[in-house]
Amino acid sequence: MANINDFNFAGLKALVRVDFNVPLDEKGNITDDTRIRGAVPTLKKIIKDGGSLILMSHMGKPKGKINPKLSLGQIANAVASALARPVKFAPDCAKAQKAAADLQPGEVLLLENLRFYPEEEGKPVGIDKTDPIYDEAKKRMKESQAEFAKTLADYADVYVNDAFGTAHRRHASTAVVADYFDDDHKMLGYLMEKEVEAIDNVLKNAQHPFTAIIGGSKVSSKLAVIKNLLDKVDNLIIGGGMGFTFIKAQGGHIGNSLHEDELMPEALAVMEAAKEKGVKLSLSVETVCANEFSNDAERQTVDIFNIPDGWEGMDAGQRSLDIWKEIILSSKTILWNGPVGVFEFENFAHGTGEIAKFVAEATKNGAYSLVGGGDSVAAVNKFGLADQVSYVSTGGGAMLEAIEGKILPGVAAIKH
Ligand code: AMP
Q: Domains along the chain?
A: 13-188 (3.40.50.1260), 196-404 (3.40.50.1260)
pLDDT surpassing 70 at residue 389: yes
Residue 72 in contact with residue 32, Cβ under 8 Å? no
What DSSP designation does 114 have? G
CA 342 to centroid of ligand 1, rounded, Å: 5
pLDDT surpassing 70 at residue 186: yes
CA pair distance 96, 90, nearest whole angstrom: 6
**Residue 337 pairs with which residues in a beta bridge?**
214
Atom 20 of ligand 1, residue of closest alpha carbon: 241
Q: Give the pLDDT band (50/70/90) at residue 397.
A: confident
Element holding 355 (H helix, E strand): helix 350-364
Taking the whole predicted model, whether its pTM rises above 0.75 is answered as yes
Q: Give the pLDDT band (50/70/90) at residue 382.
A: confident
pLDDT surpassing 70 at residue 368: yes
Q: Does the N-terminal peptide bond of residue 209 adopt cis geometry, omega within 30 degrees of 0?
A: yes
Q: Give the pLDDT band (50/70/90) at residue 350.
A: very high
Question: Does residue 107 have its Cβ closer than 6 Å to ligand 1?
Answer: no
Residue range 190-195: mean pLDDT, rounded: 95
Atom 18 of ligand 1, residue of closest alpha carbon: 241
CA 8 to centroid of ligand 1, rounded, Å: 46
Rg (C-alpha) for the chain, rounded Å, is 23
Neighbour tally for 77: CB within 10 Å: 13
Neighbour tally for 348: CB within 10 Å: 25
Q: Which sequence positions are flagged as catalytic?
A: 35, 218, 374, 397
Query: How confident is the model at residue 122, as a pLDDT?
Result: 95
pLDDT surpassing 70 at residue 374: no
Atom 6 of ligand 1, residue of closest alpha carbon: 216
Residue 215 in contact with residue 240, Cβ under 8 Å? yes
Instruction: State pLDDT tens for residues 205-236.
Output: 999 999 999 999 989 989 999 999 999 999 99
Instruction: State pLDDT tens for residues 285-326.
Output: 999 999 999 999 999 999 999 999 999 999 999 999 999 999
Neighbour tally for 309: CB within 10 Å: 7
Question: Does residue 338 have its Cβ closer than 6 Å to ligand 1?
Answer: yes
Question: Does residue 373 have its Cβ closer than 6 Å to ligand 1?
Answer: yes
CA 84 to centroid of ligand 1, rounded, Å: 40
Burial category of 30 from C-beta neighbours within 10 Å (exposed 0-12, middle 13-18, buried 19 and up): middle
What is residue 12's three-state secondary structure? coil
Query: How confident is the model at residue 197, as a pLDDT?
Result: 93
Instruction: State pLDDT tens for residues 230-244.
Output: 999 999 999 999 999
Cα 163 to its chain centre, rounded Å, is 10
pLDDT surpassing 80 at residue 373: no
